[in-house]
Amino acid sequence: MVKKISLVLWGVVLFVAWNALILFFLWTRPQSFSDHSHLTEEVIRLAQDAEVELERQKDLLHQIYRYSALWTRRKADEAKKHHLSAAAASAKPSTAAPLSRRSQISPDATLPVVVIACDRSTVRRCLDKLLHYRPSKERFPIIVSQDCGHEETARVIASYGDAIMHIKQPNLSDIPVPTDHRKFQGYYKIARHYRWALSQVFRTFKYQAAILVEDDLEVAPDFFEYFQAIFPHLLADPGLWCISAWNDNGKEQMVDVAHPELLYRTDFFPGLGWLLLSDLWDELEPKWPKAFWDDWMRQPEQRQGRSCIRPEVSRTMTFGRKGVSHGQFFDQYLKFIKLNDRFVPFTQMDLSYLKKEEYDRSFLAQVYGAPELRVEELQGNQRRELGTVRVQYTTRDSFKAFAKALGVMDDLKSGVPRAGYQGIVSFLYRGRRVYLAPPSDWTGYDPSWS
């Protein structure tokens, strides 16, 4: 209570100090009759600037006041964990090397869901589903980070009261961009917002992991179950750097809806509902890009050979045609993604097969043990008796041609195909499992394939 009163007093001090500075400037400024009209205009401008600045300070103070209890609680939790760790260390001496930050995170750690919002009042659809399926407010707090200053969207978010947290990006200014990037101003603002929001989550609120969704995503009934079950595997596997709820080749006719429990490793960063750890943000924040953050994540310098976990059937779908891409990609592809509608009890399943060594041994055996078939034979629905088959590509052009012919997304980012793992893309074609794969002596991605 004392801390909250102190914050309010500081707000009053800031208000008084700002106005005192303005008055001091006006009283001490030399005046002459000739510049009286200019002084009047300057007074008006200063008053307007002061009003804008005071509103901004008031909003920031309001956020600080609102979340001071959260910070106090998190500090108390950290102090308790530190005390327990120190007690354990003193009770049992160890000669082991210091543990990494990742290995010190509890599998039961709080996993906040951060909703990146802007000017879509339809964020209500996203929030309603999250709140409906959320199993625990304590384990999965929801933080809505809003950019753009859109009042109608802000009112929708505020209508949820203390069921969620609402934070606002304070910097709404335009960003200087190269002349040929003027039409991409929105992508620059998105990257700035992500950086601010993630810094709030990991630096201010001190969370150790976070699930990111956009304001135009709807989640599946087992969205939280999915992340909760795979989270311990992310902590234990340094070869993983994210968990994603999205399958880039997740159109209904291309996935096995009868087996929504299927999970895969992928070298392609999917986004669109994904979980990252605080130590990854420590790594990415200093070099965070000014724009196009998702494609930047797909570059070898960021990925560093690491993979993500993704599902056979997506646990998110997008309903947001409106956006910086002007809906073209949505109409051509995104609106056809199948959202899982069956609850899979992942936390009761053995997911150890996702460990790299075991996964590589089993997955590669399946792929290269499958008989090879030509695209023309597949298109003609021939050799059905073979069941699962493999289509082999050897060049960038052959991959793109075969992918387009079979309905798979044919774009490559730094040489990595969407949903691909070791160059292999798994999907259904006319009801049969197909692996679009490079030769078995594949030696790695070629970043010039794009």
Least confident of 92-101, 107-116, 157-166, 389-398: 92-101
Distances (CA, A) of 99 to 85, 95, 224, 231, 236: 12, 11, 28, 18, 12
Residues 381 and 311 occupy one common structural domain: no
- Any domain includes 120: yes
Per the domain annotation, does 362 fall within a domain? no
Mean pLDDT of 422-438: 98
pLDDT value, residue 38? 53
Same domain? 242 vs 384: no
Structure tokens at 364: 């590669």
Q: Give domain status of residue 129, yes or no.
A: yes
Instruction: For residue 284, tell me if it sits in a domain.
Output: yes
Verify that 182 and 51 share a domain, yes or no: no
Q: Are residues 35 and 163 in the same domain?
A: no
The number of distinct structural domains making up the chain is: 3
**Gyration radius (Cα) of the chain, Å:** 26
Q: What is the CATH number of the domain that holds 313?
A: 3.90.550.10
pLDDT of residue 320: 77
Whole domain around residue 322: which residue ranges? 102-354
**Do 291 and 404 lie in a common domain?**
no
User: How sure is the predictor about 196, in pLDDT bands with cuts at 50, 70 and 90?
Assistant: very high
Q: How far apart are CA 360 and CA 216, in angstroms?
A: 35
* Residue 251 reports pLDDT greater than 80: yes
User: 412 and 291 in one domain?
Assistant: no
Q: Assess whether 61 and 204 both reside in one domain.
A: no
CB–CB of 43/26 below 8 Å? yes
Tracing tokens 């055996």 back to the chain, one arrives at 365
The residue out of 320, 354, 388 marking a domain boundary is 354
- Asked if residue 211 and residue 79 are part of one domain, the reply reads no
Q: Do 83 and 106 sit in the same domain of this protein?
A: no
CATH number of the domain bearing residue 402: 3.10.180.20
Average pLDDT, the chain: 86
Say if 445 falls within a structural domain. Answer: no
More confidently predicted of 426 and 95: 426
Residues classed as catalytic: 294
Across the range 15-44, mean pLDDT stands at 53
